[in-house]
Each structure stands twice: as C-alpha cells, then as structure tokens.
Amino acid sequence: MTASAIPRGPGATTWAPETVTDEPYNAQTPWAALAEPVTPVGAFFVRDHFGVPRTTRERWRLRLGGALEAPFDVGYGELLAMARRELDVVLECAGNGRSLMTPRPPGLQWEQRAVGCAHFAGVPFRSLAERARIGPDAVEVVFAGADSGTVHGRRLAFERSLPLSVALHPDTLLVTHMNGEPLAPEHGAPVRLVVPGRYAVADVKWLVGARAVTEPFVGVFQAEEYVYVASRGTTDGPVTTVRVKSLITTPEPDSAVRRGTETAVRGRAWSGAGVPVRRVEVCVECEDEEGVEDGDWRDAVLETPTGPYAWTGWSYPWTPLRPGQYRLLARATDEHGDTQPPRAPWNAHGYGCNPVASVEVVVV
Ligand SMILES: Nc1nc2c(c(=O)[nH]1)N[C@H]1C(S)=C(S)[C@@H](COP(=O)(O)O)O[C@H]1N2
Ligand SMILES: [Mo]
C-alpha cells in the first residue's frame, strides 16, 4: 500500500511524512511536525519491511501459545474492555541517521527523522500473560506480525522476541490507540506492541501472535538484522535500548536567520529505558574570513517531558551579530551520564547513530 492509498483521519491532510521508499512504504517525519511535543499521526515516520497486511478489527485475533499453561485467543472487543494504560513514548528506528555515517552502511538511507513521539493507549501484555500462565521453562516471548515476505531467499513473517522481564514489564503495551485515534493501518492497526525505551524494531505492528519459547529466539530480525556489527565483522549484540540523542528542529537546516534579532534555537532530546535527559548544551560555530570560530558549549533550557518515555523539548536564545555561515550544535546527556559522541559511532548496518546534532544556517 502506498501513502496516498491510506485513508487518514480529519485534519490529517495537513501533514504528510516525507517518502524515503515507495514499495514497501517508508517515510520520515517532516521538520515542522517535530516542533510539536506529540507528533501528529499523519506526520509520524513509517518503517515497513513488507508492506501493510490486510486486517480488520472485527476479524482480528491474537493467539497466545507456546510454553503456556493456559493458551487462549483474544479478540479486539475483549482487549478494549481490559484495564488500559496510556503513555507518551518516543519511537525511533534503529537505523535513524544511518546516512550520516562514513562510509555509508547499506540499508534505508534515513536522514535524522525516523523518529516521533506519540500518545499510546493499550493493555499491558502482562495482563494477558497472567491469564495464560507462562510455563516454568519459558525464557522469552516471540511476538509475530501478520506481514510476511522474502528475506535472503526465505519466506518469513515479521517476528521479534523479548526476554520475559521486558515482555512482562507493566509498560510493555498491546496498543490499540495512537494520539486518541484507533491505530492507522501503516502504524500497525488494529493492535501493535510498544516497548518503551527500546529501538522501535521491537514494536511489532499488526500483532497476531505471542508465543512463549524455552530457548532464545534467533529470528532474522534480531539475529541477522538489527545487530551491532563492528568493522572487523564481530557481532556486538542486538540493538536494544535507545541511545541518548538530540535533534535541532528550529531553525531548519540551510535556512536563513536575521542578524541582530533573537532567534530561539529549539529541539528535542531523548534517551532509552525511561532514563531522563539531564542536560542539553548548544554550541554556535561561525565560519568567516578568519576561518572557523568555535563557540563554547552553553546550557539550553529544558521543558518538562510529558512522561518518562516522552522526549524533552529544549530551547536556547541566540542573537547572531555577524552575517555568515553558521553551524549550530546540540548535545544531550542523560541521568546515567551518557552523552552524544562528536561523530557517528560506525557499525556495519548503521544502527544507533547518535552523534552531536548539527544544523547549518546562514545569517543575513
Ligand atoms: N509487523 C511489523 N512490525 C514492525 C515493522 C515491520 O516491518 N513489520 N517494522 C519495525 C520497525 S524497524 C520500526 S522502526 C517500527 C516503525 O513503526 P512506525 O511505522 O509506526 O513508525 O515498526 C516496527 N514494527
Ligand atoms: Mo526500525
């Protein structure tokens, strides 16, 4: 399904994500939408491996199977009737920013905007697992999407596992609603998984199966793809927790800023696993005839995030005095003391790219 074929809700025509590939449809969030604390659904980035499968709320069922003492199926109406939880969560694709790495790793050439923050509502997976009674030998739960396709010559469904401790965390949700509306087809309707604080590959869309397994799962999307592979071919392990990161959303790249007037440099910062952002610093570098002038790093003012897994808005007042070409840099640090590195930490598949944010603007 292409973007234009997707029916959108009222007001959705205001926004459209920027297409990266048509088949399957992949698109990134436009700059203007990143200025909103909650990203509008119609602007929210889309990452599909195989395309949108046909499912309806009426026909949808989730099968809980595998190493369970009381396996069962659940329908959409039944799921909606269960105790619900609402959370604002940043979703970021593990490959976000890949095109900034040198040399460029193969894969979707995301710029920096395969990210968004939405208000999700759903039922903790834990509630269903309690009813299904996970067997004593189970070590993981494999979550299966209804979409499938061919990868490396093999026909596969989109499947990903979580260790029991993560699957059973009260914030791991079977999501039915995004920003107050039933999930849109491209975001996993009618039900998707959302695992706050992990790279969004964990958030299986079009969820139709959850099976407990007694051995760690080695599916393609976590054993071959979505692993950090260092330059010498050693496997550093699967992508899991989102790395600390910031984005400068205003001014937009390559825009013109007026000399002598105060401009708010604004952006967003986030980190994984519910770890709060402690600090964002901004540095202004100016290129003039005398070469590059390095500014100092100064603290931006942080807004209060709308929840533990939401991003933190920040701003920094800037009055440029001289015309010329400028580079604005932003660097976030989280409560663990983790901070953005000066350059993209390279790996063969281009995951977890979180270098210092940088935007070039011209002062006129
Ligand atoms: N079933 C299924 N779930 C999926 C995917 C997919 O291709 N199929 N892509 C994953 C990846 S890599 C990302 S980044 C997120 C993107 O979620 P979004 O399209 O709602 O932004 O969905 C994840 N869940
Ligand atoms: Mo992703």
CATH T-level assignment (fold) for domain 3-225:
Sulfite Oxidase; Chain A, domain 2 (3.90.420)
Q: In the chain, which stretches have pLDDT less than 70?
A: 1-13, 231-235, 288-294
Would you call 268 helix, strand, or coil by DSSP? Answer: strand
Query: Quick one: tokens of 52?
Result: 């949108």
202, 193 in Cβ contact below 8 A? yes
- Does the beta carbon of 147 lie inside 6 Å of ligand 1? yes
- Does the beta carbon of 203 lie inside 6 Å of ligand 1? yes
Is the dihedral angle over the CA atoms 36, 41, 43, 46 positive or is it negative?
positive
Q: Where in the chain is the domain with CATH 2.60.40.650?
A: 245-363
pLDDT digits (tens, 9 = 90+) for 320-347: 988 999 999 999 999 999 999 999 888 9
Predicted TM-score of the model (pTM): 0.94
Cα maximum dimension of the chain? 74
Residue entry with tokens 């976000």: 96
Three state DSSP letters for 190-251: CCEEECCCECHHHCCCCEEEEEEECCCCCCHHHHCCCEEECCCCCEEEECCECCCEEEEEEC
The number of the ligand 1 atom at minimal distance from the alpha carbon of 188 is 20
Which ligand places an atom closest to the C-alpha of 148? Answer: 1
The number of the ligand 1 atom at minimal distance from the alpha carbon of 187 is 20
Q: Where in the chain is the domain with CATH 3.90.420.10?
A: 3-225
> Rounded distance, CA 130 to CA 332, Å?
39
12, 33 in Cβ contact below 8 A? no
CATH T-level assignment (fold) for domain 245-363:
Immunoglobulin-like (2.60.40)
pLDDT digits (tens, 9 = 90+) for 277-299: 999 999 999 876 665 666 899 99
- Does the beta carbon of 91 lie inside 6 Å of ligand 1? yes
Distance of alpha carbon 91 from the chain centroid: 2
**Of 181, 187, 73, 191, nearest to 123 (Cα)?**
191
pLDDT at 16: 83
pLDDT at 17: 87
Which residue puts its alpha carbon closest to atom 10 of ligand 1? 201
- The H-assigned helical ranges of the chain are 31-34, 76-80, 125-132, 164-167, 220-223
Which ligand places an atom closest to the C-alpha of 204? Answer: 1
